[in-house]
Structure 1
Amino acid sequence: MGILFYVVSARDAEAHVKWFCAYDVAGQPRGLENVLCLDFELLLGTAVFWLFAGCLIEPTALGEATIRALDRVTAGLRLRTEEMIRAVCAFFFISIWAVGGILLTPELKTTSTMVGVLQLAIAAGMLWRRTLPLSAAGMAVLFGIAVYYYGAFHLADYPIFLGVAAYLALVGLQKDLFGIRPLDVVRYAAAVTLMWASIEKWAYPEWSFPLLIEHAAITLGFDNEFYMRAAGMVEFTLAFALLWTPLIRRCASAVLAGMFISACFEFGKIDTIGHSAIIAVLFAIICDNKAYERDRRAAWLAPVGLCGALTVTLFAYYVGHAAIFKTSIL
């Protein structure tokens, strides 16, 4: 089972299904009695084991050697983290302007010409640090427009955009957020984004089935239902790891970045554009060698935290969906 967990993580193409397949956000999700099956429990047990093992390794000589190796490999990019994120954000907004008809992500459509003007203005604002807060405000406006037309539940898929906007605003103003660094703000947003997105793999696995038929190699021969459960668990565990200690979050970021980059080769231009910002954020996390006293945590807290985060996220998703769309939880 452990081998399977790593194989799926290596081959799981992180295409966002809403960009390529039919979906219905308001539709009835799989009931929790279907989601919380034996396969789910075995996969969770595997995730807990590997996360706990990683936490035990981190304070050892092997963990310290791994951190030093990461520091050496990422030293050059670490000095240019801000410039990298700004450049990729400029690329992202110019690209969606060039494609046309997109608010923030490929399934969020618009016919407004002013949205295109705002996207170009946001991209131009990336050229200078002092204009970053204006670009951040423009991103918040686009997010607000998307919420207005598509609803808050749909946009719960994309808090990463608010995280990137906050990062840009804080960097431009050269401030932190109540003692939280700009990079940590966007790291938390990335973790929440990916944990929430993983729930859809369990709640609506059928959305992805056409992709799995077309790109059958990524399933490694496993049943589509099981593959989606495994892919969701891998994504959720790695997303939670972004909230954890320095080595754990840097390694999780490296695996996630590899998954997203592999999806770009598998699914093409739209996937490359759509995931470019989160890939940049993941590389920034890989390069980040800052460690604080609050990062020290007992290893046994990681499994507790993972299970707690999973419970809270599942509860929020299903209860929120039922409250908004009047669907059943069970």
Structure 2
Amino acid sequence: MKSPRKTFFSSLPTLALALPLTLFATNEASAHVKWFCAYDVSGQPRGLENVLCLNFEWLVGLSLVCLMFGCLAEGTPLGTALMNSLDRVLSRIRTDTELLVRATVGFFFVSLWGLGGIILTPELKTNLEWISWLQLGLAGCLIWRRTMPITGLGIVFLFGYAVSQYGVFHLADYPVFLGVAAYLILRGLDLTPYGIRALDIVRWTAAVTLMWASVEKWAYPHWTDPLIAANPAMTMGASPELFMQAAGVIEFTLAFALVWTPLVRRTSALILAGVFVSAIFEFGKIDAIGHSGIIVVLLGIAADDVRVKVRVRDTVLAPAWYAASLAGFLLLYYLGHAAIYGGLAELPVI
């Protein structure tokens, strides 16, 4: 019988390849699983003692190496050259970010009206016909800049209504909608409260959305089993468990990078946008409609040319902030689930 130590070290080559390989195979994993597979939000998530295994820790370590490489490149001639290249290539997107957001969100709401029976995302079903017509009206308000705030307020209303129907824990998957609503309201009214840009607000909510979704991959890896069974090649030889661990770690790291320094977040936004776009070819129009909003937001983040002076502590403290974010989201997810669905007396021991 092999010892655990031997078993682990024999898997090191697979772990070393897991992150870069999973990045290319993660289009299936990045599809929102609730749109395509059976799920049970109230079901017991996988125990933290099983999530925080040795493989998981090594995957996090490899991700930190990649994050630190980006941090160290910031402010160097290489980093400056990359930033200048991004500025040139994405200049048109930067100039027309607001127009692209309005057009994409308009397409999103018109598509929901056409599908019917949906509140904001494909798995949030409703029998109320007026919801579809409201969403069509919100699309119409995006034609004029002065009526953009109405669409933003409408999104907030629909989000609140969805919370009343499906619960706050389910809608914790989608804070990016509130970010888009804030963007439309602030841009329509030409406001920058406390000097905070509308694009920064939507960037933070996108990061929170994706970090929460990555924890869900670790808590409920079995939700994705039908996708893996239908396309076993997506794991590239890794076990389904290792693949889902790596997919979650990649998503969490890229999401965390969205709130870090300019080069790191712009590169992360481009990678994430590419992943979401590639998933559309696999999953079709439902995925295209559902992810259209976050894709255009990510492109806007990638095109953002605002630069700040990068301090040494931004690099030195990156691992600590990453670890704090990882621990915070894991605890928030598990404590939130236990508080809402019961089980506070049976919380797993870390």
Corresponding residue for residue 247 of structure 2 = 231
Instruction: Normalising by structure 2, report the TM-score.
Output: 0.92
Give the letter for the 1:68 counterpart. N
Q: Where in structure 2 are the equivalents of 1:1-330 lying within 5 Å?
A: 1-13=15-27, 14-293=30-309, 297-327=313-343, 328-330=346-348
Q: By how many angstroms is 1:57 displaced?
A: 1.0
Q: By how many angstroms is 1:215 displaced?
A: 2.3
**Secondary structure of 1:178's aligned partner:** helix
Determine if contact 1:159/1:192 at 8 Å carries over to the other structure. Answer: yes
Q: By how many angstroms is 1:10 displaced?
A: 2.4
Q: 1:147 to 1:77 in 2, by over 3 A?
A: same
Give the letter for the 2:79 counterpart. G
- The count of corresponding residues between Structure 1 and Structure 2 is 330
CA RMSD of aligned residues (A): 1.2
Farther off after superposition, 282-291 or 297-306: 297-306
Instruction: Report the Cα distance in structure 1 between the residues aligned to 2:91 and 2:67, rounded to whole angstroms.
Output: 26
Instruction: Report the Cα distance in structure 1 between the residues aligned to 2:260 and 2:204, rounded to whole angstroms.
Output: 10
Instruction: Normalising by structure 1, report the TM-score.
Output: 0.98
Instruction: Report the Cα distance in structure 2 between the residues aligned to 1:295 and 1:220, rounded to whole angstroms.
Output: 39
**Secondary structure of 1:23's aligned partner:** coil
- Could you list the structure 1 runs, at least 4 aligned residues long, displaced by more than 6 angstroms after superposition: none
Q: By how many angstroms is 1:54 displaced?
A: 1.0
Instruction: Report the Cα distance in structure 1 between the residues aligned to 2:312 and 2:101, rounded to whole angstroms.
Output: 28
Q: By how many angstroms is 1:177 displaced?
A: 2.9
Q: Deviations over 1:115-156 (max 9, x none)?
A: 011101110011111001100111111101100000000000
Q: Identical aligned pairs, as a percentage?
A: 54
Q: By how many angstroms is 1:268 displaced?
A: 0.9
Determine if contact 1:194/1:236 at 8 Å carries over to the other structure. Answer: yes
Determine if contact 2:18/2:243 at 8 Å carries over to the other structure. Answer: no
Farther off after superposition, 179-188 or 212-221: 212-221
Q: By how many angstroms is 1:228 displaced?
A: 0.3
Determine if contact 1:244/1:295 at 8 Å carries over to the other structure. Answer: no
Q: Deviations over 1:256-302 (max 9, x none)?
A: 01110111011111011000000000000010011235888531111
Structure 1: runs of 5+ lacking an equivalent: none
Instruction: Report the Cα distance in structure 2 between the residues aligned to 1:163 and 1:57, rounded to whole angstroms.
Output: 29
Corresponding residue for residue 8 of structure 2 = none
Instruction: Report the Cα distance in structure 2 between the residues aligned to 1:322 and 1:175, rounded to whole angstroms.
Output: 39
Determine if contact 1:75/1:287 at 8 Å carries over to the other structure. Answer: yes
Determine if contact 1:93/1:120 at 8 Å carries over to the other structure. Answer: yes
Give the letter for the 1:145 counterpart. Y
Instruction: Report the Cα distance in structure 1 between the residues aligned to 2:124 and 2:308, rounded to whole angstroms.
Output: 39
Q: By how many angstroms is 1:2 displaced?
A: 4.8
Give the letter for the 2:347 counterpart. I
Structure 2: runs of 5+ lacking an equivalent: 1-14
Instruction: Report the Cα distance in structure 1 between the residues aligned to 2:16 and 2:242, rounded to whole angstroms.
Output: 15
Q: Deviations over 1:139-191 (max 9, x none)?
A: 11110110000000000000000000000000000001322100000000000
